[in-house]
């Protein structure tokens, strides 16, 4: 009887989310006008297939002046990368760059280093708050440890199907550039301070998959990632 009481107390005072584990978020910063980005874009597919990983492609716009405006780039993606520039004490933003869980960064073509950093991040991914999508217009983030200064909650809507772009100008003229999990919109949902909180989801383009990212402010480390994948429609052969 006493043993059962002790066991009950242990369960009561042990956070239920202590063993929760979040996918490792791998962010590729790239541009269709960047000659060295083509191979990095393609190799992201290998990373995206790795269990326990969510890989996202963010296209930046600062290479547009070379002659080809990136068809997926948005200023907010460039701003996100520049926050990492400060976070990692870099001289300037660059492409291709890979950021792993907001903890580490590497050149997009450094496949071996990226694999090692993903493995390292996965070992630190426990203790994440639960993330649950409720219908189509709400997401809930559970309780958990929070960083000093709290955290921000972001919604990234992305294409789960690879996207091919035929580049007609600039350094990659004549090439078809493939994007994996390309982000089409990025929205800040609000703040999170360690307590269960519900967030309203904005309307997003039909057919896009969703990723909710709980992250320390100003390019801080990733605390949790939740995803809702929309599988592309399969057209029957005729």
pLDDT digits (tens, 9 = 90+) for 187-238: 999 999 999 999 999 999 999 999 999 999 999 999 999 999 986 655 455 5
Q: Is 10 a domain residue? A: no
Which of 99, 93, 91 is closest to 40 using CA atoms? 99
Q: 130 lies in which domain range?
A: 18-228
Q: Is 122 a domain residue? A: yes
Q: Is 7 a domain residue? A: no
Q: Is 13 a domain residue? A: no
Q: What is the pTM of this model?
A: 0.89
35 phi and psi angles, rounded to 5 deg = -60, -35
pLDDT digits (tens, 9 = 90+) for 124-150: 877 899 999 999 999 999 999 888 888
pLDDT digits (tens, 9 = 90+) for 28-69: 999 999 999 999 999 999 999 999 999 999 999 999 999 999
Instruction: Give the total residue count for the chain.
Output: 238
Name the β-bridge partners of 54.
25
pLDDT digits (tens, 9 = 90+) for 83-116: 999 999 999 999 999 999 999 999 999 999 999 9
Q: Is 143 a domain residue? A: yes
Q: Is 3 a domain residue? A: no
Q: Is 147 a domain residue? A: yes
Number of domains in the chain: 1
CA end-to-end span of the chain: 68
Q: Is 4 a domain residue? A: no
């Amino acid at each position: 009887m006493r043993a059962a009481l002790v066991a009950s107390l242990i369960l009561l005072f042990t956070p239920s989310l202590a063993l929760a584990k979040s996918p490792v978020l791998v962010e590729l910063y790239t541009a269709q006008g960047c000659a060295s980005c083509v191979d990095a874009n393609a190799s992201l597919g290998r990373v995206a297939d790795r269990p326990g990983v969510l890989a996202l492609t963010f296209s930046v716009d600062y290479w547009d002046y070379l002659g080809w405006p990136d068809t997926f780039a948005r200023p907010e993606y460039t701003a996100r990368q520049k926050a990492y520039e400060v976070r990692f004490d870099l001289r300037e933003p660059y492409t291709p760059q890979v950021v792993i869980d907001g903890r580490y960064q590497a050149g997009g073509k450094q496949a071996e280093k990226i694999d090692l950093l993903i493995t390292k991040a996965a070992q630190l991914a426990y203790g994440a708050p639960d993330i649950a999508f409720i219908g189509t217009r709400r997401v809930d983030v559970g309780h958990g440890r929070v960083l000093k200064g709290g955290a921000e909650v972001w919604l990234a809507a992305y294409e789960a199907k690879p996207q091919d772009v035929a580049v007609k100008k600039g350094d990659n003229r004549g090439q078809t550039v493939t994007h994996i999990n390309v982000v089409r919109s990025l929205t800040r949902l609000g703040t999170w301070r360690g307590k269960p909180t519900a967030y309203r989801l904005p309307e997003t383009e039909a057919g896009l998959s969703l990723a909710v990212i709980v992250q320390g402010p100003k390019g801080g480390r990733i605390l949790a990632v939740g995803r809702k994948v929309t599988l592309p429609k399969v057209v029957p052969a005729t």
